[in-house]
C-alpha cells in the first residue's frame, strides 16, 4: 500500500499478507480465532512496514488487545515499564497504544520526539478525577505535606506533585519519602492498600478506576468456591475487600511474573479483560478464568487507528514546556526510587 495516504478502505487479506503474518498468528492463535485473523493481519502487516519507514516505536500497555500487544508492539508492559522504556526509545516517533496520560508521560520524558496517541479521546477515569488546581488547593489546606501522585494523572497534576508512583512501586516510593503523612492522589483504593502496607498516615482523594471498582468481593469468592484450585490475582486499584479475597495483590507486571514463575494450573486475574488474553497467549498450559471488565478508554485504540496515526503523524501529544519540566521532576524522582 502507499504508506503516505491515510485511507479508511478496509485492507485486503492477500497471500503476501497471509505468509508474512503467519509467524505472528502462531503467537496469538490460542486467543484470536482463525476466522478473525484476516481482519487484523493486513493492518498488522502495514503497521509493521510503516513503523520501520517512520523510525517509530510502538509502546503498548498490558490492557491492549492481543493483536496490538503481541503483533505490532515493540515495547510492552505496565505504566512503570512504559515510562522507563520511553526514556530509552531511540526512535524519532513514539506511538502510545494506551491512554492519554501514558502518551503525555512519554512526551514529558522525550520532549524532542514526536509522540502520537492513535485516539486522542482515550482517557482515564482516574486522570479525569483531579486537576492541577485541586492539588494546589490541597497543598494550601495541608502545608508541608508531600504530594505523591499516581501516574494515572494529567501532566498538570504531575507538575504540582513532589513525586509520582505506579501500582508497582507505590509502596517503595512512600517508604523512600520517609514522611509520617502524605497526600496520596488520586486513587483512593490504591492509597488505602499502600497505607496498610506502610502504616503512613494518608490524605486521600475520591478517585477510582471505573474498571477495577466494578469488581466485588462476592464475585471473587464465587469464583473461588466454583474452582478448588483457582489462584486469584488482584490489581490494587480494586476495593480493599476485593484485595482481601485474593491470593496475591500486585501490578499487572507483578501478576505476569506470578504466572510465569509459579505456573498455577488455574488463574483468575481481577483486572482489565485483555490482560488475561495477553498472558494466556504466552501460557497456554494455564487455565484463565476471565470475568470480563473492559476499559472503554483502552479499547479506543485499534489497529486501523494505529495505522492512520503512523500515516498522518497525528494526533500528536504536546505538553507545555514549563508544565513538562515540572512534571518531569516528579516522574524522574519516581524512576530514581524504583
Ligand atoms: S483501566 Fe482504569 S486506570 Fe486504567 S486506563 Fe482504564 S479507567 Fe484508567
- In sequence order, what DSSP letters do the residues of 60-94 get, joined into one string? EETTS-HHHHTTT-SEEE-HHHHHHHHHH--SSEE
Q: Mean pLDDT throughout 230-248?
A: 96
CATH topology of domain 212-289: Rossmann fold (3.40.50)
**CA 120 to centroid of ligand 1, rounded, Å:** 15
Q: Could you read off the pLDDT of 183-207 as tens digits, one per residue?
A: 999 999 999 999 999 999 999 999 9
Residue 126 pLDDT > 50, yes or no? yes
Q: Could you read off the pLDDT of 75-90 as tens digits, one per residue?
A: 999 887 887 887 887 8
Atom from ligand 1 closest to the CA of residue 296: 6
CA distances in angstroms from 43 to 38, 50, 61, 302, 304, listed in the order given: 9, 10, 19, 10, 6
**CA 299 to centroid of ligand 1, rounded, Å:** 11
Which residue is listed with cell 496490538? 68
Q: Mean pLDDT throughout 159-188?
A: 96
Q: Could you read off the pLDDT of 92-105 as tens digits, one per residue?
A: 999 999 999 999 99
Confidence of residue 8 (pLDDT cuts 50, 70, 90): low
Give the containing element (helix H, strand E) for 59: strand 56-61
- Alpha carbons 318 and 307: distance in angstroms, whole number: 20
Pocket of ligand 1 (CB under 6 A): 63, 99, 124-126, 152, 209-211, 272, 295, 297-298
For strand 56-61 and strand 75-77, is the pairing parallel, antiparallel, or unpaired? parallel
* In the chain, % of residues over pLDDT 70: 98
User: Of 172, 156, 167, 210, which is closest to residue 190 (Cα–Cα)?
Assistant: 167
**CA 243 to centroid of ligand 1, rounded, Å:** 17
On whether the CB atoms of residues 103 and 117 are closer than 8 A, the answer is: yes
Residue 29 pLDDT > 80, yes or no? yes
Three-class secondary structure of residue 29 per DSSP: coil
**Ligand 1 test: best mutation among 153, 157, 210, 255, most atoms within 8 Å of CB?**
210
Residue nearest to atom 8 of ligand 1 (CA): 124
Burial of residue 220, with CB atoms counted within 10 A of its CB: 0-12 exposed, 13-18 middle, 19 or more buried: buried
Can you give the pLDDT at residue 7? 55
CATH code for residues 127-209: 3.40.50.10800
- Alpha carbons 157 and 298: distance in angstroms, whole number: 21
For strand 93-97 and strand 56-61, is the pairing parallel, antiparallel, or unpaired? parallel
**Ligand 1 test: best mutation among 122, 124, 170, most atoms within 8 Å of CB?**
124
In this structure, CATH architecture of domain 15-123+298-312: 3-Layer(aba) Sandwich (3.40)
**CA 297 to centroid of ligand 1, rounded, Å:** 7
Can you give the pLDDT at residue 5? 46
User: Of 56, 109, 111, which is closest to residue 82 (Cα–Cα)?
Assistant: 109
Q: Where does CATH 3.40.50.10800 sit in the chain?
A: 15-123+298-312, 127-209, 212-289
**Ligand 1 test: best mutation among 153, 212, 275, most atoms within 8 Å of CB?**
212
Can you give the pLDDT at residue 86? 79
- pTM here is 0.92
Q: For the chain, what is the mean pLDDT?
A: 94
**CA 147 to centroid of ligand 1, rounded, Å:** 21
Q: Could you read off the pLDDT of 250-296 as tens digits, one per residue?
A: 999 999 999 999 999 999 999 998 999 999 999 999 999 987 899 99
CB-based contacts of 27, cutoff 8 Å, min separation 6: 70, 71, 281
Amino acid at each position: 500500500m502507499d504508506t503516505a495516504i491515510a485511507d479508511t478502505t478496509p485492507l485486503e487479506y492477500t497471500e503476501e499478507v497471509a505468509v508474512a503474518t503467519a509467524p505472528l498468528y502462531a503467537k496469538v492463535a490460542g486467543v484470536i480465532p482463525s476466522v478473525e485473523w484476516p481482519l487484523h493481519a493486513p493492518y498488522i502487516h502495514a503497521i509493521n512496514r510503516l513503523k520501520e519507514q517512520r523510525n517509530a516505536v510502538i509502546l503498548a500497555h498490558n490492557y491492549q488487545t492481543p493483536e496490538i500487544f503481541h503483533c505490532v508492539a515493540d515495547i510492552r508492559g505496565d505504566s512503570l515499564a512504559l515510562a522507563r522504556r520511553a526514556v530509552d526509545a531511540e526512535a524519532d516517533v513514539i506511538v502510545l497504544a494506551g491512554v492519554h496520560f501514558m502518551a503525555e508521560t512519554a512526551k514529558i520524558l522525550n520532549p524532542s520526539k514526536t509522540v502520537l496517541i492513535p485516539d486522542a479521546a482515550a482517557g482515564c477515569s482516574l486522570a479525569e478525577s483531579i486537576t492541577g488546581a485541586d492539588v494546589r488547593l490541597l497543598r494550601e489546606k495541608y502545608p508541608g505535606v508531600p504530594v505523591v501522585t499516581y501516574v494515572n494523572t494529567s501532566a498538570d497534576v504531575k507538575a504540582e506533585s513532589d513525586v509520582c508512583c505506579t501500582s508497582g512501586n507505590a509502596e517503595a516510593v512512600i517508604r523512600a519519602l520517609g514522611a509520617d503523612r502524605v497526600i496520596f492522589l488520586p486513587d483512593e483504593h490504591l492509597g488505602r492498600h499502600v497505607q496498610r502496607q506502610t502504616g503512613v498516615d494518608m490524605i486521600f482523594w475520591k478517585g477510582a478506576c471505573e474498571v477495577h471498582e466494578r469488581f466485588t468481593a462476592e464475585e471473587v469468592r464465587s469464583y473461588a468456591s466454583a474452582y478448588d484450585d483457582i489462584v486469584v490475582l488482584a490489581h490494587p486499584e480494586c476495593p480493599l475487600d476485593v484485595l482481601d479475597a485474593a491470593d496475591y495483590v500486585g501490578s499487572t507486571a507483578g501478576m505476569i511474573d506470578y504466572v510465569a514463575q509459579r505456573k498455577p494450573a488455574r488463574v483468575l486475574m481481577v483486572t482489565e479483560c485483555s490482560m488475561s488474553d495477553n498472558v494466556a497467549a504466552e501460557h497456554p498450559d494455564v487455565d484463565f478464568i476471565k470475568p470480563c471488565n473492559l476499559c472503554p478508554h483502552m479499547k479506543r485504540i485499534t489497529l486501523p487507528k494505529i495505522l492512520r496515526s503512523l500515516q498522518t503523524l497525528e494526533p500528536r501529544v504536546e505538553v507545555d514546556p514549563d508544565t513538562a519540566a515540572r512534571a518531569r521532576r516528579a516522574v524522574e524522582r519516581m524512576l530514581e526510587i524504583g
